[in-house]
Structure 1
Amino acid sequence: MLQLRVARPRRIALIGLAGALAISMSACAESQRDSGGGSEGGTLVFGATGAPSNFDPFYASDGETFRVTRQMFENLVGLKPGTAELEPELAKEWKSSEDGKTWTFTLQEGVKFHDGTPFNADAVCKNFERMYNQTGAGATAALSYYWIENFGGFSDGKQPSLYKSCTAENDSTVVLELTRFHAGFPTLLSQDSFGMQSPAAMDEYKANDVKAQGDSFVFSEYARQHPTGTGPFKFSSYDEGNGTVELVRNDDYWGEKAKLSKLIFRVIPDETARKQALEAGDIDGYDFPSPSDWDALEKAGFNLQIRDPFNILYLGITQKNNPALRDLRVRQALAYAIDRENLVKSVMPEKAEVAKQMYPPTVDGYADDVTQYPHDPDKAKQLLKQAGHENLTVELWWPTQVTRPYMPNPQAIFGAIKEDLEEAGITVKPISKPWAGGYIDQVEVAKAQLFLLGWTGDYNSPDNFIGTFFGTTENQFWTKGSPWGEELSKALDAAAATVDPAQREAKYQEINRKLMSEYLPAIPLSHSPPAIVVSPDVQGLVPSPLTKEEFAPVTVSASE
C-alpha cells in the first residue's frame, strides 16, 4: 500500500483532537487450480510481481510481502474493504483520553492465533514491547521501517518515541500510552507492519534473530517458515525456487471463514508472462497489468478494475555520495530537465496525473502555490553552468522484476527520464537491480544517486507521505549531507503534533512550499491509477484504493 518505501498508503481522514476526545468506535461490523465449486472451497492462484522479502510483517515495507502477510495477520484496527474508512478489527472499540495520549482498546473475545494460543491484552503488549525493544539489525530503518516512520525511536532512548507503554488491564482491555498527541493515531495502527503476531511462536522460532549480511539480511526461522497470526489464512509453504507461496484456510478463524481452501501466490516478475499465464488459465488474476493491455484484457472477458490513484512516483536524490547533488541549483536543473507531461502521456496509464508536490492533491496540507518546474532543457543547462557542473554525470537507478502501483513500467519510465536528462547535457550511468534482490536495500543505505521510487498511501495524512519520506533522521538517507535535513524533520514532527486542524494544515502547506523551493530532496513525477485483473470465474474480490485487497471473501467458480 513503500514504498521509504517506498512503497506502501491509503485514504483516512486525519484524526484531530476533536475526533479523539473520548471517542469510541464499535464494531458494526502448472496449473495448480481446482474448481471452486461456486460458493466455497477451491484454490485461487494469484500472479505476484515480486518475491516477498520475508513473512514477518514487522520487518517488511514492500507491497509484495504485505500482499501475502495481510491474509494471515490482523491489526487492532482495520480499514473497511474497498474504502479508506477506519473500522474495528481485533479491537472492537477504542477511546482516548482528553489529551489524546492514552488509548484504551477493548478486544474481540475468543480469538486465537494459528498455533492455538490466545489473542488477548497480554499478547498485544508483548507485540508492542517486541517492536519497541528492537536492537541491532532489527532497529535499523531497513527492517523496522514502519515503526521508525510512525513511532520514532526504540527503548534504547537514542531517538524519541511516540510509544510510551502498554498495559493489559484484563484479558480483553489494553491501554496504550503515547508520549504526545499524534494526528494519525490510531489510524496508523491499521498498517500491515503492526499486525498482531503470536508471542509463543515468535519466542519458539526466535523472531528477532535477524542479521545483516552485506547489503541484505538473514531472517529468522519464524520469518521464513512459521509466521503466526490470527487471520483467515494460515501459512503452508514457500517454494522459493519456484517462487510459490501457499496459504491454507484457517478453519478455526474467529470471524467469517475464508471461502477458499487454498490461496497461492506465484511470483511472475515479467508482466507479459503474467498476462499469458492468465490467458492460459494457469493463474486466476494478477495486479498492475500494463495500461497498454487494459482494453485487450477487457475485450477478452477478464474483469479489470481500475483503482483511484492515491500514490506518488518520484525521482529520489541521494545527496550523500555525489557532492554535486547537494547544490540546490543542480537539483533544480534535474527538475527542469524532466518532461513530466510527456512522461504521463506516453508511458503512464490513462487518467494518470503530473505530480506537483510529494503527495496527491486530496491529502490535507496540499499547497496550490508551490514552485513549479516546467520542462525547460535550456534552463537546466543554465543552472548546471551556474553551479559549475555543466559536465554533470549521475547514476540513475531503476528496479527490475517488479511492477508497482505508481510505477507500472519501470524500464520505460527509466528510459524516458534518461533521454530527458541527456537532452539537458547530463551524462547518465544506468544501474538496474532486482527490486527484492538489492535495489531497495541499496537505495536505503544511500548507494543510489538518482533512483525511481514511490509510495501508495496508508491513510490520508501528510505525515504518511512526507512524514514517512523525511520525518526521521534515521531514514534521511536522501537528505544526509544537506544543511536543512534536521530542520525539515523537526518541522514535520511539529506539524504532526499540532492539535488544531487549521494550524496543522497551514504548517503542512508551508512545508510543501519549502520542499519544492528551498529543499527539493526529490522530484515528484506522477500519480498513477493502478488496475487489478482477475478471471471471470473469480467472484467477491473487492479492489482497494489502497491496493490492500483481502482474499477471504473470494470464490472461484467452476468453468463451463
Structure 2
Amino acid sequence: MLQSRVARPRRLAVIGVAGALAFSLTACAESERDGGGGGEGGTFVFGATGAPSNFDPFFASDGETFRVTRQMFENLVGIKPGTVELEPELAKSWESNEDGTVWTFELQEGVKFHDGTPFDAEAVCANFERMYNQEGAGSSPALAYYWTENFGGFADGKKPSLYEGCEVEDEYTVQLKLTRYTADFPTMLTQDSFAMQSPKAMEEYKANDVKAQGDSFVFSEYARQHPTGTGPFVFESYDEANGTITLKRNEDYWGEPAKLSKLIFRIIPDETARKQAMEAGEIDGYDFPSPSDWDALEQAGFKVEIREPFNILYLGITQKNNPALKELKVRQALAYAIDRETLVSSIMPEDSEVAKQMYPPSVDGYADDVQEYPHDVEKAKQLLKEAGYSDLTVELWYPTQVTRPYMPNPEAIFGAIKEDLEEAGITVKPVSKPWAGGYTDDVESARAELFLLGWTGDYNSPNNFIGTFFGTTDNQFYTGGSPWGDDLAKALDDADSIVDAKEREAAYRDINRDMMSKYLPAIPLSHSPPALVVRPEVEGLVASPLTKEEFSTVTVAE
C-alpha cells in the first residue's frame, strides 16, 4: 500500500458471545498463505531508531524490539496488513463457549519452528505455561509488561490472572481457558509479546534465565542469540558494536516465503543521521521522518508512507503533588487555555486531527457528543478565579532525545502549550529529561505534574486505550487520589465484562462523556499520522496504522 494518503480502516468487528461463537477464516488463510517458491532475493536495509532490548518478545515492551521480532515470530491471531482487523495466523479458526471463558483454536498444519521442531497444540500450551509460570525477574512488570497488562498475575497466585489453563485436544486443536470474560480476547493475542516460540530452543538456551542487574536486566542466551519462531525470517546475527541486526529468509517457511533474501536493521538513533544515510544510499528506509521533511523527501524522489492515525497525544495531569490539579475547574481551565487547533495546524503533521477524547474516532465506543473545550483564554481565567487559583504555578514536563509517532517534535509542542498557559496567567516551570533517561520512569511514578505523553493502540479496543490509562487507580495520573478514581476504574472494568457488543459500546460512550465532563483526568490533544520513508526502488511495503509493518512482502529493485 504505497501511497501518500490511506483511507480510514473499517472498524474491527467486535466478536460477541451469544451462544457458541465461531470465527473461521480458514479459506482466507489458505489463499493468502499458500503459494510457494523462493523470493526474488535482494537485501532491504532499514534504519531503526533504537536498539532492541533483547530478541525474546515475551520480555519486551518497546517498538524497536518488536520491529525485529515481528519478522521472525508469529501469533495465533494476526492483524490484516494495513488495517486493524483480525485475521488468522498460526490459528486458522477459533470459537468460544457461551460465556467466553473457553476458546478453542484450530491450528495450521505442517508448520515448523526455525529449528525444525513442529508447531502444534503441545507447543501452544508450552508457550502459555511458560508465560504463566514466570518467577523472579521474569514476572516483573518491567519485563512481562504485556502479560501483566493483559493477563494480570502469574502461577504464584499473588495477583488474580485472566489465564486459567491450556489443554491439548488433539495435535492441531488447543483450548485456552480464562477465569472471566473480556471483550479484548482473543484480539489481545495479536500483540507481539504473545508470539509462539520454539519450546525446544527455549529449553536448550534457557530462555527463562533472566536476572535483574541494577536498573537493567541480563537476558538469556536464547534472548540474545537464538530467538526461534515460525516466521518468514530467521535470526542470523547481531553486531552490537556496529549496531546491525541481520535476518535471513526462512527457506522452509510454511506460507509464502519472504521475497527478500536478507533483512538488515541498522540502528541510527538520530533522525537527521537516518535521513542522511538514506540519501547516501546506505539504507533503504527509516521510520518517523520529521513532518517538516516530508515534502522535501518526496520532491527528492523518496516514498513517504503516511500511516492512518491510530494514536493519541495528551497532556497528562498528575493529581498527586500539586493540590490545584485535584480541582476539576483547574483542569478545565487548562483545557480551555490550550489552543489545540493552532497546535495541530502549525506543529503536527498534515492530516492530524484535534482530539476530543482519549482515543481516535475509529475505536469502538467513541462518543460524538462529549463536552468540548474550545480555545477560550477568558474562560480559563474565570475558572481559575472560581477555583481560587488565579496565581497558579505548574511544572510542565516534556521528553528529549525521542521522536514518537504521536509526538514528532516534543520541544515544539511543549513551547506552544507553555505559551498558551502563560497567556491564561499560569506560571510554567519547564522540566525536561531524556525519554530513556528518567522521563518515562518519573511520569509512570506520578512525579510529573503536567506532562506530554501518548499512546499508539495495540489493537481496536477502548480498553486498550482508556483501560490502559485509567483501569487502575495507581496510575501515572494518580486518580487514586481523586474521589472519583475508583468509580472510573470500576466503570472501565464493568464495561470490559459486558458480553453484548452494543451494550458494551454504549457503556464506553457513557464513560467517554463522563471523562470529558465530570473527571477530565487528562487533556486529549491530537491524533497524528506517523510516517515512514523508503527509497524509490522499494516496492511491496504495506504501512500499518499500528506501526506493525511486516517486511516479507518487500522487494528492492536493483
Q: Is the TM-score greater than 0.5?
A: yes
CA deviations 1:60-109 (Å, max 9, x no partner) are 22322221111111000111222223211111222222222211111122
- Give the aligned partner of residue 538 of structure 2: 538
- CA gap of 1:19–1:141, structure 2 versus 1, over 3 A, is farther
Alignment partners' CA distance in 2, 1:240 and 1:386: 57
- Give the aligned partner of residue 413 of structure 2: 413
The amino acid of 1:358's aligned partner reads M
- Give the aligned partner of residue 192 of structure 2: 192
After TM superposition, the structure 1 = structure 2 runs for residues 294-313 of structure 1, keeping only pairs within 5 Å, are 294-313=294-313
- CA gap of 1:102–1:47, structure 2 versus 1, over 3 A, is same
Unpaired runs of 5+ in structure 2?
A: 1-8, 30-37
- Give the aligned partner of residue 23 of structure 1: 23
Is residue 2:534 matched to residue 1:547? no
- Give the aligned partner of residue 208 of structure 1: 208
The amino acid of 1:95's aligned partner reads E
- Give the aligned partner of residue 373 of structure 2: 373
- CA gap of 1:45–1:448, structure 2 versus 1, over 3 A, is farther
Alignment partners' CA distance in 1, 2:351 and 2:81: 23
After TM superposition, the structure 1 = structure 2 runs for residues 403-442 of structure 1, keeping only pairs within 5 Å, are 403-442=403-442
Q: Give TM-score scaled by structure 1 length.
A: 0.89
Report if aligned partners of 2:207, 2:222 keep a CA contact under 8 Å in 1: yes
- CA gap of 1:99–1:48, structure 2 versus 1, over 3 A, is same
- Give the aligned partner of residue 179 of structure 1: 179
Larger RCO: 1 or 2 (CA < 8 Å, sep 6+): 1
Unpaired runs of 5+ in structure 1?
A: 1-8, 30-37
Report if aligned partners of 1:13, 1:460 keep a CA contact under 8 Å in 2: no
- Give the aligned partner of residue 148 of structure 1: 148
Alignment partners' CA distance in 2, 1:521 and 1:143: 28
- Give the aligned partner of residue 35 of structure 1: none
- Give the aligned partner of residue 512 of structure 2: 512
Alignment partners' CA distance in 2, 1:349 and 1:479: 32
- CA gap of 1:309–1:113, structure 2 versus 1, over 3 A, is same
The amino acid of 1:154's aligned partner reads F
SS of aligned partner of 1:177: strand
Is residue 2:231 matched to residue 1:231? yes
- Give the aligned partner of residue 359 of structure 2: 359
- Give the aligned partner of residue 291 of structure 1: 291
- Give the aligned partner of residue 249 of structure 2: 249
Alignment partners' CA distance in 2, 1:343 and 1:556: 38
CA deviations 1:15-60 (Å, max 9, x no partner) are 122496133332522xxxxxxxx96222211112233233222232
SS of aligned partner of 1:23: strand
Q: Work out the number of aligned pairs and report it.
A: 542
- Give the aligned partner of residue 316 of structure 1: 316
Alignment partners' CA distance in 2, 1:301 and 1:175: 51
Alignment partners' CA distance in 2, 1:176 and 1:539: 39
Report if aligned partners of 1:50, 1:401 keep a CA contact under 8 Å in 2: no
The amino acid of 1:461's aligned partner reads S
Q: CA deviation at 1:284?
A: 0.4
The amino acid of 1:350's aligned partner reads E
- CA gap of 1:484–1:448, structure 2 versus 1, over 3 A, is same
Alignment partners' CA distance in 2, 1:20 and 1:524: 39
Q: CA deviation at 1:316?
A: 1.9
Q: CA deviation at 1:219?
A: 3.7
Is residue 2:117 matched to residue 1:117? yes
CA deviations 1:455-499 (Å, max 9, x no partner) are 222222211211222224565664342333332222112111112
Report if aligned partners of 2:446, 2:476 keep a CA contact under 8 Å in 1: no
- Give the aligned partner of residue 97 of structure 2: 97
- 17-26 or 543-552, which moves further after superposition? 17-26
CA deviations 1:203-240 (Å, max 9, x no partner) are 34443344455554444443333322221112233334
- Give the aligned partner of residue 54 of structure 1: 54
Q: Give TM-score scaled by structure 2 length.
A: 0.90
- Give the aligned partner of residue 498 of structure 2: 498
Alignment partners' CA distance in 2, 1:519 and 1:211: 41
Q: CA deviation at 1:390?
A: 4.2
SS of aligned partner of 2:164: strand
Alignment partners' CA distance in 2, 1:512 and 1:301: 43
Q: CA deviation at 1:11?
A: 5.5
The amino acid of 1:99's aligned partner reads D
Alignment partners' CA distance in 2, 1:246 and 1:287: 18
Report if aligned partners of 2:317, 2:477 keep a CA contact under 8 Å in 1: no
Q: CA deviation at 1:447?
A: 3.5
Alignment partners' CA distance in 2, 1:242 and 1:515: 48
Report if aligned partners of 2:39, 2:258 keep a CA contact under 8 Å in 1: no
- CA gap of 1:295–1:506, structure 2 versus 1, over 3 A, is same
- Give the aligned partner of residue 458 of structure 1: 458
The amino acid of 1:117's aligned partner reads T
Alignment partners' CA distance in 1, 2:20 and 2:549: 28
- 445-454 or 548-557, which moves further after superposition? 445-454
Alignment partners' CA distance in 1, 2:250 and 2:59: 23
- 413-422 or 163-172, which moves further after superposition? 413-422
Report if aligned partners of 1:27, 1:88 keep a CA contact under 8 Å in 2: no
Alignment partners' CA distance in 1, 2:346 and 2:323: 33
Is residue 2:113 matched to residue 1:107? no
Alignment partners' CA distance in 2, 1:224 and 1:354: 42
RMSD: 2.6
- CA gap of 1:493–1:91, structure 2 versus 1, over 3 A, is same
Q: CA deviation at 1:298?
A: 1.6
SS of aligned partner of 1:396: strand
After TM superposition, the structure 1 = structure 2 runs for residues 520-535 of structure 1, keeping only pairs within 5 Å, are 520-535=520-535
- Give the aligned partner of residue 273 of structure 1: 273
Report if aligned partners of 2:446, 2:475 keep a CA contact under 8 Å in 1: no
Is residue 2:395 matched to residue 1:398? no
CA deviations 1:407-427 (Å, max 9, x no partner) are 222222222222223333334
SS of aligned partner of 2:106: strand
CA deviations 1:232-270 (Å, max 9, x no partner) are 112233334443322222223222222222212222233
Alignment partners' CA distance in 2, 1:479 and 1:242: 44
SS of aligned partner of 2:22: coil
- Give the aligned partner of residue 127 of structure 1: 127
Report if aligned partners of 2:24, 2:92 keep a CA contact under 8 Å in 1: no
- CA gap of 1:233–1:442, structure 2 versus 1, over 3 A, is farther
- Give the aligned partner of residue 65 of structure 1: 65
Q: CA deviation at 1:314?
A: 1.1
- Give the aligned partner of residue 222 of structure 1: 222
- CA gap of 1:27–1:212, structure 2 versus 1, over 3 A, is farther
Residue identity (%): 79
